[in-house]
């Protein structure tokens, strides 16, 4: 791909441009609205595929200090332009080993969401416009290297999501939407304060002016500071407070227990087509933030709080898995299973070693594929039998052989069967966890056992037991629905047996971030007097 073309900006602009073009299409032209939305997401996916093909798996890593271990993050296809010169904010985009496959996941799940949305959806043009704006915002989060630009997209993502959740979905969507927005805005405001702190206290003399740029902030974390005291008690240092603010924002977005209560309500009241990208990519952005910003800006604090973060990851894995076993609503079973599997991703990150973080990045991609498929299956079942209560649904194998076969593949992937995509990520995560602390791997393995329990019980209950009254007379999924599920099932198998294309890129990214997290932050004196 030509480096003279700003490809990352093109990827950002296509969804926004498509959303604008949609406004020219009459509301009653539903086929044209859906077709244009699919075309826009397909164009984005095509360019992202080209970026992956052209991505250099072994880039030269620039040094940003006099010491060999002082390394920047090797971003590719970089674009840097002045944005708000008065305060040092830049329009800085870049792609690295962390964001490359997450960008591909983003493009895929939004394309899937565009294909899966029914043409009969109420206010279809409004829905498709919101879908495209959400995609642009999530892409911006993944590509931003300037902290202010990142926050702009991070908060901007909430606007279309608010209208999607508030206008489409179940009867209790109003309360679920307020809960989601309340949690995320609270965390985001804390993160904004931390960004301002980093900006004000960065060593501006390194570049001659203040900056929000991640590469600059990595180089100049500021001098060591004494803990803040309150009523004679020593609390955290300012940089630790800043890390906690970032960590809360990301923990809410993942979400980690106990910051998770917004997710089951939001997912239970969200349409399946929306969940393909809401569950498929949005929840990964919190984990992405922990790696991109937690490991680079706060190498000291993330080690200080490592045992707490690992404890929250294990708590999320086990507690959410047990809640999944306690549910009768099949949509809530999948929602709690999502929290449990996201806990595995967090466990890999907080192991703070290459295997753990590499496994976490791989598992983000795997989880996005699996959770999108699970919610689509739940949606197809609910639409046909009229209920989500697993006690009232049984014997669907006899009426829905296509769904049975595809759901079996998805179930095996969801429980981590060897040969399926999730096994690759979970095994690598548990390997990293064992290297950090064998007890973490043992507790994580209990989560794998619980996942096998609730996933097999869900599949067996819906498919194999005697035909229930609610399931009598239902029809199998049609060609259009098979067209949506088949690529997902194929990817689960393909990644499971041949994960090399993903692992080659993600491992180089993981290595860079672990290197940054393991190196003590440089002092101003060491920068000026090598």
Residue-wise pLDDT tens digits, 300-324: 889 989 999 999 999 999 999 999 9
pLDDT bucket at 228, cuts 50 / 70 / 90 = low
List, for residues 146-190, the tens digit of each pLDDT value: 999 999 999 999 999 999 999 887 788 888 899 999 999 999 999
Inform me whether the pLDDT recorded for 109 exceeds 90. Answer: yes
Q: In this structure, is residue 197 part of a structural domain?
A: yes
What's the rounded mean pLDDT across residues 64-73?
Answer: 59
List, for residues 354-374, the tens digit of each pLDDT value: 999 999 999 999 999 999 999
Q: In this structure, is residue 527 part of a structural domain?
A: no
Distance CA 65, CA 80 (A): 21
pLDDT in the model for residue 203: 56
Buried b (16+ CB within 10 A) or exposed e, 389-422: ebeebbbbbebbeebbebbebbbbbbbbbeebbb
The beta strands (E) that lie in 231-289 are given as 233-234
pLDDT in the model for residue 153: 96
**309 in Cβ contact with 298 (< 8 Å):** no
Quote the domain boundaries for residue 328: 7-516
Q: In terms of Cα–Cα distance, which of 291, 384, 388 is closest to 335?
A: 388
Residue 81: helix, strand or coil by DSSP? strand
Distance CA 170, CA 374 (A): 18
Mean residue pLDDT across the chain:
88
Q: In this structure, is residue 524 part of a structural domain?
A: no
pLDDT in the model for residue 258: 92
Q: Domain count for the chain, please give it.
A: 1
Q: In this structure, is residue 1 part of a structural domain?
A: no
pLDDT in the model for residue 234: 59
Q: In this structure, is residue 525 part of a structural domain?
A: no
Q: In this structure, is residue 283 part of a structural domain?
A: yes
**Residue where the block lists tokens 């005291």:** 229
Inform me whether the pLDDT recorded for 232 exceeds 90. Answer: no
List, for residues 480-523, the tens digit of each pLDDT value: 899 999 999 999 999 999 998 898 888 888 888 888 777 544 43
Q: What is the DSSP string of 157-211?
A: THHHHHHHHHHSS-TTHHHHHHHHHHHHHHHHHHHHHHHHHHHHHS-GGGTTS--
Q: In terms of Cα–Cα distance, which of 291, 13, 247, 248 is closest to 140?
A: 13
Q: In this structure, is residue 337 part of a structural domain?
A: yes
Better pLDDT: 296 or 229:
296
Q: In this structure, is residue 521 part of a structural domain?
A: no
**If residue 96 lies in a helix (H) or strand (E), which one and from where to where?**
none
Q: In terms of Cα–Cα distance, which of 63, 6, 105 is closest to 364?
A: 105
Q: Model pTM?
A: 0.91
pLDDT bucket at 529, cuts 50 / 70 / 90 = very low
Distance CA 115, CA 35 (A): 9
pLDDT bucket at 201, cuts 50 / 70 / 90 = confident
Other CB atoms within 10 A of residue 193 CB: 12
């Amino acid at each position: 791909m030509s480096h003279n073309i700003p490809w990352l900006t093109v990827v950002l602009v296509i969804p926004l441009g498509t959303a604008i073009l949609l406004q020219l299409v009459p509301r009653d032209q539903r086929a044209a609205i859906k077709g244009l939305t699919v075309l826009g997401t397909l164009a984005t996916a095509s360019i992202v595929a080209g970026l992956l093909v052209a991505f250099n798996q072994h880039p030269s890593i620039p040094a940003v200090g006099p010491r060999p271990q002082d390394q920047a993050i090797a971003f590719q296809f970089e674009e840097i332009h002045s944005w708000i010169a008065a305060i040092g904010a830049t329009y800085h985009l870049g792609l690295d080993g962390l964001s490359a496959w997450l960008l591909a996941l983003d493009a895929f799940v939004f394309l899937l969401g565009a294909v899966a949305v029914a043409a009969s959806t109420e206010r279809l043009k409004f829905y498709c416009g919101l879908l495209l704006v959400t995609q642009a915002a999530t892409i911006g989060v993944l590509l931003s290297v300037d902290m202010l630009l990142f926050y702009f997209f991070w908060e901007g993502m909430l606007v279309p999501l608010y209208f999607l959740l508030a206008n489409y979905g179940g009867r209790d969507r109003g309360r679920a939407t307020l809960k989601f927005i309340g949690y995320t805005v609270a965390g985001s405001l804390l993160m904004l304060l931390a960004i301002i702190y980093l900006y004000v206290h960065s060593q501006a003399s390194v570049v001659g002016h203040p900056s929000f740029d991640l590469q600059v902030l990595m180089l100049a974390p500021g001098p060591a500071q004494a803990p803040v005291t309150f009523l004679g008690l020593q609390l955290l240092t300012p940089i630790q407070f800043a890390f906690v603010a970032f960590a809360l924002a990301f923990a809410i977005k993942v979400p980690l227990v106990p910051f998770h209560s917004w997710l089951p309500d939001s997912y239970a009241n969200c349409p399946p087509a929306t969940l393909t990208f809401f569950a498929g990519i949005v929840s990964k952005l919190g984990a992405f933030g922990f790696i991109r910003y937690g490991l680079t800006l706060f190498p000291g604090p993330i080690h200080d709080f490592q045992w707490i973060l690992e404890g929250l990851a294990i708590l999320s894995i086990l507690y959410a898995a047990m809640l999944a076993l306690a549910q009768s609503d099949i949509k809530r079973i999948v929602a709690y299973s999502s929290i449990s599997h996201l806990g595995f991703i967090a466990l890999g990150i907080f192991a703070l070693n290459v295997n753990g973080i590499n496994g976490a990045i791989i598992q983000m991609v795997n989880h996005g594929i699996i959770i999108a498929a699970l919610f689509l299956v739940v949606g197809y079942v609910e639409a046909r039998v009229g209920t989500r209560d697993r006690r009232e649904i049984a014997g669907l194998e006899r009426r829905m052989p296509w769904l049975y076969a595809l759901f079996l593949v998805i179930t095996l992937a969801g429980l981590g069967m060897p040969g399926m995509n999730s096994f690759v990520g979970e095994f690598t995560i548990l390997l990293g966890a064992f290297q950090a602390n064998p007890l973490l791997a043992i507790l994580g393995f209990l989560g794998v056992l619980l996942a096998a329990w609730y996933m097999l019980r869900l599949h067996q209950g819906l498919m194999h037991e005697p035909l229930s009254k609610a399931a009598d007379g239902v029809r199998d999924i049609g060609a259009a629905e098979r067209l949506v599920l088949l690529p997902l099932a194929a990817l689960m198998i393909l990644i499971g047996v041949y994960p090399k294309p993903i692992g080659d890129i993600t491992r180089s990214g993981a290595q860079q971030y672990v290197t940054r997290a393991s190196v003590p932050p440089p002092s101003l004196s060491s920068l000026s007097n090598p």
